[in-house]
Amino acid sequence: MYDWVRCALKEIIITSLYEELKKYGDSDHYPYHMPGHKRKETDYLPKAFSEIDITEIDGFDNLHNPEGIIKEAQEFAAKAVGADRTYFLVGGSTSGVLAAISAAVKPGGKIIIVRNAHKSAYNAIGLRGIKTAYVFPKVNEELGFVEAVTSEGINEAIKNNPDASAVFIVSPTYEGRIAKVREIAKIVHDAGLTLIVDEAHGAHLPFAKDVDGYGESAISGGADIVIQSAHKTLPAPTQTALLHVNGNRVDVSKIERYLHIYQTSSPSYPLMAGLDGSVRLMADKGAELLKDLRGRYNRLVSEINEKCKAVGIFNPKDGVQDIGKCVISVKGENVGKQLADILREKYHLETEMCGEKYVLAMFTVFDGDEAFDRMRQALFEIDEDIESLTAESDFIGIDIKPEILHTIAEVWEVESEDVPLDKSEGRVAAEFVNLYPPGTPLLVPGEKITKEIIDLIKRYKIQGLNVIGLRDGDISVEL
């Protein structure tokens, strides 16, 4: 860990949950309870972990009925981010998205949803038999990723779907594009609907409200339910997330009911302690750490864009690009996978994901000088040897609007078969086909498979991108 982060950690008060877990681990209490490792060190479990890995024993509360230490931790988090209520999630944002949609939309109801929503939203739609009205945000013509949804797009969708009961949007997007949630919230609420925001990539935004250069969090922007993946942009363990509620448009008892259903009945105390700790760190030092990140990131962007002849970092001037989401490309070239491979194999820099025309690297408050120096040097060297990167063919893009023939729930209840992708044109998709990451669908069950979609899937496979949903080249279709 970098010295400047270590100093920040020393200055904060140890989280109450971790402190109590550590105190119990150091005591002479013998665990005649789960888990089976009995708080002992093993070859595969370090002592620091096993000592605090307990079950719901006296004094340590219960995530599914919090009345003590977990309740206090959740209340602290809500106050820190400005929400009315906050719930800890140990099943990632996935469990929060499932619970939010289930609570806001009745079975068989309709939801207005951006097409670039995560697969967890589509699973909730399928489980509840919900009908969808899609909003297709604009595709960035230069780089091919999906932009943030606009208030105009949401307004039009609401007018065309008066029977919808909720609106679901993503902000920031995987590539860091931030929607004008405040404008969207007003439109949604004026229509009497509930606004759910998947802010999985924006858990840091509530702590940046006093730091110039960052967008506004959906929490202060007026959303009714906001789901954040703490592990994505905060120093929190993988699998930890937060669900925030504002106002009374959604019955919180329903949210709690579905969180009981979608979350494990045996939540991990080390994960909850790590989640609590990351929130407390950001509440105490977040503005300082985010200012530091902003300075380092902006210097990297400026130096690369000013000094490199071909390599560039996406840097729009519209004020809605999240700091830390570093979208790297080679001007005019379709070499995203090649660029990611070079960064990994030659420079040992593991990026988050790649598209056809870009690579996404993520920076957070725990990235110090080494992270920025290594990326800067690698991009300078790659730019000097740019001729080694060659595009195999022209860029196609992803601006496709499939035809919906059945709901997800309807298709899940019928028989299906696997057919070669080349022979699937005109058939109805029976399973999701996703580019993962980011996990947004190319095809949703119930949609018609077209030649355009087939060509796009084949193209991604040729490029070496990670397409999920095919089995040995076959695609599942409705019988």
- pLDDT for 47-104, tens place per residue? 999 999 999 999 999 999 999 999 999 999 999 999 999 999 999 999 999 999 999 9
| Contact (CB, 8 A) for 328 and 363 | no
Is the Cα torsion angle 426, 140, 195, 94 positive or negative in sign?
A: positive
Output 175 or 462, whichever has higher pLDDT.
175
Strands 325-330 and 353-354: unpaired
Are 189 and 222 spatial neighbours (Cβ–Cβ below 8 Å)? yes
Q: Write down the pLDDT at residue 1.
A: 41
State pLDDT tens for residues 252-303.
999 999 999 999 999 999 999 999 999 999 999 999 999 999 999 999 999 9
d(CA 187, CA 182): 9
Phi, psi of 463 (to 5 degrees): -70, -15
Beta strands 241-245 and 85-89, pairing class: antiparallel
State how far the Cα of 88 lies from the Cα of 400, in Å rounded to an integer: 36
pTM (2 decimals)?
0.93
Give the pLDDT of residue 8. Answer: 53
Give me the pLDDT at residue 223, please: 98
What are the tens digits of pLDDT across the range 166-217?
A: 999 999 999 999 999 999 999 999 999 999 999 999 999 999 998 998 999 9
DSSP SS3 for 361: strand
Taking a C-beta distance cutoff of 8 angstroms, is the pair 183, 216 a contact? no
Average the pLDDT over 35-43 and give the result. 94
* pLDDT for the residue 459: 86
Question: Which range has the worst mean pLDDT, 9-13, 152-156, 320-324?
Answer: 9-13
Half-sphere exposure of 444 (CA within 13 A, CB side): 30
Q: Does position 424 have pLDDT exceeding 90, yes or no?
A: yes
Query: In whole angstroms, what is the distance from residue 20 CA to residue 10 CA?
Result: 18
pLDDT on residue 193 = 98
- How far from each other are the two terminal CA atoms of the chain, in whole angstroms? 54
Q: Helices (DSSP H) in 164-246: which residue ranges?
A: 181-190, 230-233
Mean pLDDT across 374-400: 80
Tokens of 8: 């920040």
Write phi, then psi, for 442 (nearest 5 degrees). Answer: -85, -35
pLDDT value, residue 394 = 57
- State both tokens at 330: 């080679």
Percentage of the chain exceeding pLDDT 70: 95
Is the per-residue pLDDT at 317 higher than 90? no
Q: What tokens appear for 126 in the block?
A: 């399928």
Going by their DSSP bridges, the two strands 225-228 and 194-198 should be labelled as parallel
- Amino acid 13 reads I
Helix boundaries (H) for 58-91: 69-81
pLDDT tens readout for residues 357-369: 999 999 999 999 9
The predicted-structure confidence for 225-259, as pLDDT tens digits, reads as follows 999 999 999 999 999 999 999 999 999 999 999 99
Per-residue pLDDT at 440: 82
pLDDT score, position 398? 61
- What does pLDDT average to over the chain? 93
Whether the per-residue pLDDT at 443 is higher than 90: the answer is yes
Task: Please tell me what DSSP assigns to residue 183.
Answer: H
8: Cα within 13 Å, side-chain hemisphere = 23
Does residue 12 have a pLDDT over 60? no
pLDDT on residue 13: 47
pLDDT range class, residue 2, cuts 50, 70, 90? very low
Quickly tell me which residue has 């902000």 as its tokens. Answer: 171
